[in-house]
């Protein structure tokens, strides 16, 4: 029996949209904090490097040109790193909020697992987004290997919302 993955999109409900907006707000503030720390270190490292060169007895250890070039290099690396992180993660959350859609994917259960130490039940599925999902005890007993399960996740950021 062959099984193809099936997808469709539908609008986000109010709770899911609020969750994504809250996630976007907290992640945006984290990016700002990280960038402030990186800016601080972008000026601190060249300053410490100048003191190290001065301690070793180097001539012209406190060269303004060398200091500002080193600061510019560190700032460029910081800006590039934060921007790439934004492009990969936060931008997708913002796109989910803008388009207000989620993806529903029909997946097949490939394996069932009970983890005794945490008293949790997992279904392994053939999804391109999720390897496994945690389910309730009732659903674990009701769903068998080979059954279909629909999972919901944000279209662009792939944040998992649930199953049915």
pLDDT of residue 5: 54
0.85 exceeded by pTM: no
For the stretch 37-58, pLDDT in tens is 999 999 898 888 888 888 887 7
For the stretch 77-133, pLDDT in tens is 999 998 998 888 899 999 999 999 999 999 889 999 998 988 899 999 988 888 889
SS (H, E, C) 10-32: EECCHHHHHHHHHHHHHHHHHHH
Domain boundaries, the chain: 13-99, 101-163
Q: Is the pLDDT of residue 28 over 60?
A: yes
CA distance 6 to 69: 53
For the stretch 133-160, pLDDT in tens is 989 999 888 988 888 899 999 999 988 9
C-alpha 79: how far from its chain's center? 18
pLDDT of residue 52: 85
């Amino acid at each position: 029996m062959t099984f193809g993955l099936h997808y469709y999109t539908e609008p986000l409900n109010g709770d899911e949209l609020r969750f994504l907006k809250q996630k976007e707000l907290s992640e945006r503030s984290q990016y700002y904090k990280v960038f402030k720390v990186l800016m601080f270190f972008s000026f601190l490292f060249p300053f410490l490097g100048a003191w190290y060169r001065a301690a070793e007895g180097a001539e012209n250890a406190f060269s303004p040109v060398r200091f500002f070039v080193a600061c510019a290099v560190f700032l460029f690396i910081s800006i590039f790193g934060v921007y790439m992180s934004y492009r990969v993660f936060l931008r997708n959350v913002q796109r989910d909020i803008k388009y207000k859609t989620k993806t529903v994917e029909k997946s097949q259960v490939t394996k069932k697992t009970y983890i005794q130490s945490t008293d949790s039940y997992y279904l392994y599925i053939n999804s391109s987004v999720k390897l496994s999902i945690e389910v309730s005890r009732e659903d674990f007993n009701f769903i068998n290997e080979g059954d279909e399960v629909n999972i919901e996740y944000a279209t662009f950021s792939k944040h998992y919302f649930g199953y049915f």
